[in-house]
A and B are shown apart, each in its own frame.
Chain A
């Protein structure tokens, strides 16, 4: 009984799409995770592009975004399969360069996605400019509070490139363009429950707080929960999507959020790999863009297409 369960669990972690033909062009796509909604949307985009290009992909990732070593194991296993190309979202921009070099030496074209690698090995990087996207969040928040008052940020991670980029993008934009806004606190919380409690504590410590920025889906759920539970008149701005966050924007708990284009990131990876094996040259970075969304534009086709439940 337990063995069956274990096998079922393992089966789900690898999510192989069965190759239709043995001679298919095959690209392993290695993400930072797979259970998060964001990665599921990237996977969807990658699968769409794979179907359009007539290639086979697999989509894998470690359990959590802290497991750099596990991701390196997945990477090595993928290289060992001698694929025609490889998509890789590095958990650490430097630690995994040696493994990637092995792939490059074997002549496997590599496309980085989501966050870059400190190396010229990847032919291109499909990514959101996190600094720009978080600056967009800062702008939305600043306008909502009339350009003055106290604000705080809750960031999903202290060490990852996305955590650092979104934090700094938000802080820099406020510092550069909104002299009357004070940032009173920056805290970290890596899941929705912890974010909710953290944000209520920030509200407690700063009774005059006018706005809070939450840097990913989990933090944004926590923000929505905290604002609902306290009934505080605080402008909340989130990041990414997910049903809770979308509902919170519709019911007014959050004023809006920034979404990346995860489907576009997935498509970009597979399209770029397909182009690479045809010998086309690629730009060093492909910015897949971001959108500000709120109750007024959530249902517009171009926005709705990149939001996920």
Chain B
């Protein structure tokens, strides 16, 4: 994996979030070891590829929510926003027949636009983020159905659309290595997001908003503007997830997406980002998303009932937050 050190406003924060990310990473390794021993066929390389591919969408959505959560907010709209942007991509590419880059740019830009509307509702209308994005979740779901006529939009007229997710371009460089492009896109988004959060003014303000919004305001930060930008970025990243999911299914499925926001928030929380804001890392979220898909995959390969798999995932979330609380007390 990539460099996992992160910088944040204070030393205390570095220690505790690094520690918890390390905890999450250790949990991931333990899970991998456990399933390798007890689940036959789990450890095969092809299955590792399956797991990475299955993580891509949730990982990217998790990164989107990470931005908002660190800023002290929450974004419940990421799942249906993903679906809406997938539909937008379908409208541009299939219905309007525009070239692929326009579809990609359109989906991401539209996600950014819708996300920033959530931001306006939060920053200017003072609607609590939970409510504003709950509303946006429904608006995005409704619009996805309206724009698509409640029918899937197919990408058969865009033969290269598969490049965005299931196809393995790395095989051209390294023959024999099969790794879906969606996995590289997830890591690309995560690295980019890490850089923005840790090396840019925007990132510094996002942490500042989440730590103490009033202090940020008093020290001259234009709070509203940065909030709107934060939600806008979340929407743009949802656009990337929309491209991934529609590319893999070769269709924008307008009814999909509800419930994905909870998986994304779970990945963020397991990865050590504090729901209270001001603290968290993108790489932690990616590790959190991996923990969830390793659990799902491993329990399935072992033949554990679906129902119990859901119970175990719930337990992991609670344990992760408990660790977060303990670590915060210590620091």
Give the residues in chain A near B250, CB-CB below 8 Å: 225, 244
B279 within 8 A of A: no
Q: For residue B54, which residues in chain A have a CB less than 8 angstroms away from its CB?
A: 197, 200
A140 to B63, CA, bound (A): 44
Separation of A201 and B293 alpha carbons in the complex (Å): 11
Q: Are B142 and A205 interface neighbours, CB within 8 A?
A: no
Cβ contact of A197, chosen from B41, B46, B53, B302, cutoff 8 A? B53
Given known contacts A243-B251, A244-B250, A229 and B166 CB-to-CB distance under 8 angstroms: yes
A185 located at the interface, meaning its Cβ lies under 8 Å from any Cβ of chain B in the complex: yes
Interface assignment of B37: CB less than 8 Å from any CB of chain A:
no
Partner of A35, one of B138, B248, B254: B254
**CB proximity to B under 8 Å, residues A44-101:** 63-64
Does A237 count as interface, using CB distance less than 8 angstroms?
Answer: no
* CB <8 Å contact, B46 and A204: yes
Chain B residues in 8 Å Cβ range of A1: 117
Residues of B within 8 A of A35 (CB): 145, 150, 254-255
Partner of B152, one of A202, A205, A229, A242: A242
Contact with B along A1-17 (1 / 0, CB 8 A): 11001101110110000
Q: A9-B139, A12-B145, A35-B145 are in contact. Are A198 and B300 (CB under 8 A)?
A: yes
Cα–Cα distance between A207 and B301 once the two chains are bound (Å): 11
- Shortest C-beta distance, A91 to chain B (Å), equals 16
Q: List CB contacts (< 8 Å) of A1-38 with chain B.
A: 1-2, 5-6, 8-10, 12-13, 33-37
Tell me if A's interface is mostly helix, strand, loop or mixed.
helix
- Is B3 among interface residues, defined by CB-CB distance under 8 A? no
A193 touches B57 (CB 8 A): yes
Chain B interface residue count, CB cutoff 8 Å, equals 47
Cβ-defined contact, B258 with A64, below 8 A: yes
User: Within the assembled complex, what's the spacing in Å between the Cα atoms of A63 and B140?
Assistant: 13
* Residue in B47, B142, B251, B296 whose CB lies within 8 Å of A244: B251
Say yes or no: is A273 at the interface (Cβ < 8 Å to chain B): no
Among B42, B57, B166, B293, which residue has its beta carbon within 8 angstroms of that of A204? B42
Residue of A nearest to B258 (CB): A64
Would you call B50 an interface residue if the criterion is a C-beta within 8 Å of the partner chain's C-beta atoms? yes
Q: How large is the interface on A (under 10, 10 to 19, 20 to 34, 35 or more residues)?
A: 35 or more
**Does B131 lie at the interface of the complex (its beta carbon under 8 Å from any beta carbon of A)?**
no
Chain A hits for B139, CB < 8 A: 2, 5-6, 9
Interface pair A200/B301, CB less than 8 Å apart: no
Residue of B nearest to A193 (CB): B245
Cβ-based interface call for A118 (8 A): no
What is the distance, in angstroms, from A47's C-beta to the closest C-beta of chain B?
Answer: 14
Known A2-B121, A243-B152; contact A8-B142, beta-carbon cutoff 8 A: yes
Chain A's nearest CB lies how many Å from the CB of B127?
10
Apart from the given pairs A192-B249, A197-B53, A207-B41, 7 other A-B contacts in the complex at a CB distance below 8 Å: A9-B141, A63-B258, A200-B50, A202-B300, A225-B248, A243-B154, A244-B250
17 pairs of residues in contact across A and B, judged by CB atoms under 8 Å: A9-B141, A36-B255, A40-B150, A63-B258, A185-B303, A196-B249, A200-B50, A201-B47, A202-B300, A204-B50, A205-B40, A205-B41, A218-B253, A242-B152, A243-B154, A244-B249, A309-B151
7 smallest CB-CB distances across A and B, nearest first, come from A9-B142, A197-B54, A35-B255, A205-B301, A201-B300, A204-B47, A12-B146
